[in-house]
Chain A
Amino acid sequence: MGDAEALRSQDLRKVYTTKGAPPTEALAGVSLDVRRGERVALLGRNGAGKTTFLKIASTLLRPTSGSIEVFGYDIARTPERARPYIAVVPQEGKPFFHLTPREQVYTYLRARGLARETARSRTEEALGRMGLTEIADRLAITLSGGQRQRTMVATVIATEAPLLFLDEPSIGMDPFARRDVWESLRELTRRGSTILLTTHYLDEAEALSDRLYIIERGRVLVTGTADDLKRSVGGTLKVTMPGGGAFAESFRSFGASVVDGSHLTIIVPPERLGELMELAVRERLVATVGPVTLEEAFLRVVGRSIDED
């Protein structure tokens, strides 16, 4: 593992065995790397293996085979050596209901071994970043779900750990709070931290990650930037035509198409847009042109993989 890498996994496999049930292969040979200072997103459907990967990487689950290193430390053999360098927001994790956000963040930093003064100043900074200052002295049991999730994220970002794992960090948050999280994570990477996150919000993955991995059935399907992924589906523009469903055959040669009721959506490269619009006018169809979103690219990539299987 090179000095430039924060995390590297090679052919990582995890098989869950439960008495009386057939073994379940959650990871079927995942090889990936995260470079220092990067923000990397793991995308995938429910049950694709993202959380299993994150649990292994954060030292909480033993892999069945393969290797995984965090800052050069073997996670399977010497997890305790990697732990000072990591922090994790667990999926559906909640703060202690009978602590206030201020107590939660501060005591967590102290439990990690940070000095009182450092813990105090980082607590205030993290609470401020996550918009929690005004409610910092209310017990978590009285907070909303989104406020509790912000408390969890504040707890972890306050560590400024070199490698942060965030499993669906902005779940349940309003759009303003999500943007606070994004900005805080960007700031952390500017200061030198590395971030690996999972999310089902594809706008979040696009806004936040330098690179992303799509995982499907325990395997890495695609890796690259969000733009790479969008280009990989055959075009960067999306043309939507209400009432175009009946003309799907005529437009097939332009690119991948989806018929949804009477709507026709086609993904098209920019150089063929003019030709397509001419055909739309001839067929008296109203056409709306927009960029391909990451969500559409994701659906196509994963959908194609499911079809192939």
Chain B
Amino acid sequence: MRTSGGGVEGRPFRGLAAFLWTEALVQAHESLAMATSMVVQGVLLVFVLILDPSLLGVALAGAILFSMFAMGSRVLNEAAYIRIDHKAHDLYLASPLSPEGYFLGLSGGILTVYVAPVVVLGAITVAVAHLSVGVGLLLLALAAAVWLFSASIGYVFSTFFRDNRAIWAYASLFFNVFGVLPPVFYPFGLFPKPLDPVVLLMPPSAAAALVQHAMGVTSLTGGQIALAVVALVVETVGLFLFAVHWARRTVQER
């Protein structure tokens, strides 16, 4: 039997790096979108600068977490676009490329390109907020977790739709409920107290609360820290594993 079509047995995550490169090339050809990916963060930072410049450090750290979260919305839109509009999804999935390699390659390709403005934001944050190495590393780890959470939820959601127009409304909801409304750009303490547990259960705001606590801007109780850490870890790991399972399951429609 000829095997020149691309190897034999599929192994987990097969083709991830190559598909990540493919998606990064696709995204890199859209440089304008890369620039406009910072518009919401820029506007919110200006608001904070005008209203209370002392909160700029908090808002900058929040902008990094928000940017990483927003990449999940891009995964939602891009995965649906490739599947519904381009139908190129079939080309890739009926091949030795593993389904989880497709999901993570797509998400990683978007991250590879869109992380560039976030790195700039990170440099500004370090300079403005005078972050210690420890807080900087914590912010980096939390940003990675928020990205993994949002990429996973974005990919899973993308498989539920048959029409791109329906996705736009949900993408906007997703973006605002998780990223804009809760205390990501502003201190955790300013949010209504009764809703604290809800905020700590949502990964972007849980991550923001932990960073703010580490920066000394917010004071979390031991219970709140535990809730934020457990929620972040369980939701991120759980959703990631589910997304991998879901990617494998949905290759073959039922």
Contact = CB atoms under 8 A, between A and B. Distances in A.
A103 interface: yes
Interface stretch (A104-112, A173-181, A224-232): A104-112
A99 B25 contact: yes
A92 B8 CA distance: 28
B91 A84 contact: no
Interface residues of A, number: 47
B15 A111 contact: yes
B87 A93 contact: yes
Contacts of A161: 4-6
Interface string B3-45: 1111111100011001101100111011000000000000000
A98 B29 contact: yes
Contacts, number: 147
B4 to A, nearest CB: 5
Contacts of B22: 96, 99, 103, 107-108, 110-111
B235 to A, nearest CB: 29
Given A61-B253, A62-B252, A103-B25, A83 B90 contact: no
Contact of B1 (A96, A152, A162): A162
B84 to A, nearest CB: 11
Given A62-B254, A85-B1, A107-B22, A113 B7 contact: yes
A112 B22 CA distance: 12
B236 to A, nearest CB: 26
A81 B90 contact: no
Given A60-B93, A94-B87, A81 B25 contact: no
Contact of A60 (B8, B9, B88, B94): B94
A87 B251 contact: no
A217 to B, nearest CB: 21
A256 B21 CA distance: 59
Interface in B39-85: 82, 85
Contacts of B136: none
A158 to B, nearest CB: 10
User: Which of A55, A71, A95, A107 has the most CB atoms of chain B within a 10 A radius of its CB?
Assistant: A107
A38 interface: no
Given A84-B9, A113-B15, A161-B4, A62 B253 contact: yes
B92 A79 contact: no
Contacts of A137: none
A193 B5 CA distance: 10
B94 A59 contact: yes
A79 B96 CA distance: 10
A87 B5 contact: yes
Interface in B205-254: 251-254
Nearest to B92: A111
Interface string B102-116: 000100000000000
A58 B19 CA distance: 20
Contacts of A110: 18, 21-22
B29 A84 contact: no
A84 B86 contact: no
A87 B95 contact: yes
Contacts of A86: 5, 94-95
Contacts of A98: 25-27, 29-30
A91 B87 contact: yes
A288 B72 CA distance: 66
A71 B85 CA distance: 31
Contact of B5 (A60, A94, A155, A160): A160
Interface of A: 55, 58-62, 71, 79-81, 83-99, 103, 107-114, 139, 152, 155-156, 159-162, 165, 192-193
Given A83-B10, A93-B90, 19 more contacts: A58-B90, A59-B93, A60-B253, A62-B254, A84-B7, A84-B9, A89-B91, A90-B90, A93-B91, A99-B22, A107-B21, A111-B95, A111-B97, A112-B95, A139-B29, A160-B4, A161-B4, A161-B5, A162-B3
Nearest 10 interchain pairs by C-beta: A161-B5, A112-B6, A98-B29, A90-B90, A110-B18, A107-B22, A111-B18, A58-B94, A113-B7, A84-B96
